[in-house]
């Protein structure tokens, strides 16, 4: 079970995850369909097409973009760390993933020479870059610094 706030009336509903996933869950008070907040619980998948909107136009919280590829061993270590950081974000930051093989335009724009590389953006500016598989604690600390950064 999970507690989800209704977007229409704000009342908190206890719902079964499987009903939430298939969009069958309705608010007990007003009947509005309940939606899980996917942005906060999972990394957002970014492409060359969505990069501008989802990363550069984002305001407020920092956005960390994990640049990765399926054949990269260290990226497989970072993947689950990204999932955990996304699940623990509590609205302080956003986690995104960019497959560099499928999105060469963004990868070359930010000169991604080795992967994994994590880019941290705030208010449309690149403010930090983390290269290589780093411990979760290190990445979390850089995100904390980024969230205090004033552009
Ligand atoms: Zn409601």
pLDDT in tens, 110-147: 999 999 999 999 999 999 999 999 999 999 999 999 99
Check if 72 is active-site: yes
Report the predicted TM-score, pTM, of the whole model to 2 decimal places.
Answer: 0.74
The yes-or-no verdict on residue 38 having pLDDT over 60 is no
Instruction: Compute the distance between CA of residue 61 and CA of residue 39 in angstroms, rounded to an integer.
Output: 13
Check if 67 is active-site: no
Please, which pLDDT band fits residue 37 given cuts at 50, 70 and 90?
Answer: low
How far away, in angstroms, is 20 Cα from ligand 1 center? 14
How far away, in angstroms, is 5 Cα from ligand 1 center? 8
């Amino acid at each position: 079970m999970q507690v989800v706030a209704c977007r229409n009336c704000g009342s908190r509903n206890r719902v079964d995850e499987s009903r939430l996933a298939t969009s069958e869950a309705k608010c007990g008070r007003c009947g509005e369909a309940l939606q899980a907040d996917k942005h906060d619980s999972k990394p957002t998948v970014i492409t060359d097409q969505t990069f501008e909107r989802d990363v550069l136009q984002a305001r407020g919280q920092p956005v960390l973009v994990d640049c990765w590829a399926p054949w990269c061993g260290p990226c497989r270590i970072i993947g689950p760390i990204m999932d955990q950081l996304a699940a623990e974000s509590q609205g302080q930051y956003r986690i995104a993933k960019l497959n560099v093989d499928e999105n060469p335009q963004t990868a070359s724009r930010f000169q991604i020479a080795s992967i994994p590389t994590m880019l941290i953006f705030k208010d449309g500016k690149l403010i930090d870059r983390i290269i290589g598989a780093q411990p979760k604690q290190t990445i979390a600390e850089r995100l904390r610094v980024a969230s205090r950064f004033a552009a």
